[in-house]
């Protein structure tokens, strides 16, 4: 996979040289290229921003350097256009599902902005020419898009074949497609078996793989209902087996009129008949 990042702060992307991403690049699994946007400016001040039309606070990143940068980067490919990823708080949420989708693409170009963002005409221009995604890493605003790029690259790169030491490591991740969809991963433990008077759940020492798998799934439901209940509410109820339904009822959840799950006491909740259905 090839990854290009265009930024006015190339040094911000230094973490891409270390840990899993850095090792993957060293092994040739990732081709990471960092570009300084100011290289495509033509004035002595290397200007990349200007005041917004219509007034208002802040500055807007100019279209000319972005256009030249993206044109040159796209032209350097083998003919296939990249997927352009624009970090922005007004974009589509970045999820594990999207990370999986992007990990299957051969070439990604990230365009982290600063100030009030990039002139909208740049987004429109390259949306007409490429597969362009505007993506948000959360409901908050940062000083720039470089930190979101680091988040997304790490999430995407670890899904590439051979990047993780154990290919199955990401299959039980929170939000992973399959059984963990719409669930948070539960607690994990390692040696020693006792630390400061605190032990580990006995089931993890039992060697019974079926019971361990069930315990882990139950704990995933406990954590998800406590921390991210909206994930359970938005999940497909058909994905839950009888044991799943039993743990949800034990945690105080009931079925609603549409067959979905809601915390007991919320509107439209049904009775415990949900377990038998």
Clarify whether 89 is annotated catalytic.
Answer: yes
Q: What b/e sequence results for 126-158 when a residue is b if at least 16 CB atoms lie within 10 Å of its CB, and e otherwise?
A: beeebebbbbbbeeeeeebbbebbbebbebbbb
Q: CA-CA distances (angstroms) from residue 205 to 190, 194, 208, 212? A: 11, 12, 8, 9
Parallel/antiparallel/unpaired status of strands 2-7 and 60-61: unpaired
Given the residues 134, 173, 185, 256, the one annotated as active site: 173
Dmax over CA atoms of the chain, in Å, equals: 73
Feature table: binding site for S-adenosyl-L-methionine: 137-142
Given the residues 64, 68, 71, 116, the one annotated as active site: 116
Given the residues 114, 158, 216, 262, the one annotated as active site: 158
In degrees and rounded to multiples of 5, residue 194 shows phi and psi of -140, 135
Clarify whether 173 is annotated catalytic.
Answer: yes
| Cα separation, 115 vs 58, whole angstroms | 6
Feature table: binding site: 137-142
Clarify whether 218 is annotated catalytic.
Answer: no
Clarify whether 255 is annotated catalytic.
Answer: no
Given the residues 10, 15, 52, 89, the one annotated as active site: 89
Active site residue ranges: 89, 116, 158, 173
């Amino acid at each position: 996979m090839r990854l290009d990042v265009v930024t006015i702060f190339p040094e911000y992307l230094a973490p891409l040289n270390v840990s899993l991403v850095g090792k993957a690049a060293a092994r040739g699994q990732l081709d990471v290229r960092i570009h300084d946007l100011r290289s495509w400016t033509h004035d002595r001040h290397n200007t990349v921003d200007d005041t917004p039309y219509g007034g208002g606070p802040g500055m807007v990143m100019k279209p000319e350097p972005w256009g030249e940068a993206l044109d040159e980067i796209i032209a350097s490919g083998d003919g296939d256009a990249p997927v352009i990823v624009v970090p922005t708080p007004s974009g589509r949420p970045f999820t594990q599902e999207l990370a999986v989708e992007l990990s299957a693409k051969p070439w990604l170009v990230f365009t982290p902005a600063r100030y009030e963002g990039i002139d909208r005409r740049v987004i429109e221009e390259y949306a007409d020419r490429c597969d362009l995604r505007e993506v948000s890493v959360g409901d908050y605003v940062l000083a720039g898009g470089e930190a979101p790029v680091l988040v997304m690259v790490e999430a995407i790169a670890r899904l590439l074949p051979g990047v993780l030491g154990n290919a199955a490591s990401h299959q039980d991740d929170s939000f992973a497609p399959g059984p963990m969809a719409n669930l948070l991963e539960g607690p994990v433990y390692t040696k020693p078996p006792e630390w400061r008077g605190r032990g580990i759940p006995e089931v993890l020492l039992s060697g019974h793989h079926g019971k361990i798998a069930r315990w882990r799934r139950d704990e995933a439901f406990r954590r998800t209902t406590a921390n991210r209940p909206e994930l359970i509410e938005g999940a497909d109820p058909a994905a839950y087996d009888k044991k799943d339904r039993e743990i949800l009822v034990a945690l105080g959840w009931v079925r609603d009129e549409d067959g979905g799950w809601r915390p007991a006491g919320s509107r439209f909740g049904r009775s415990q008949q949900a377990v038998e259905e």
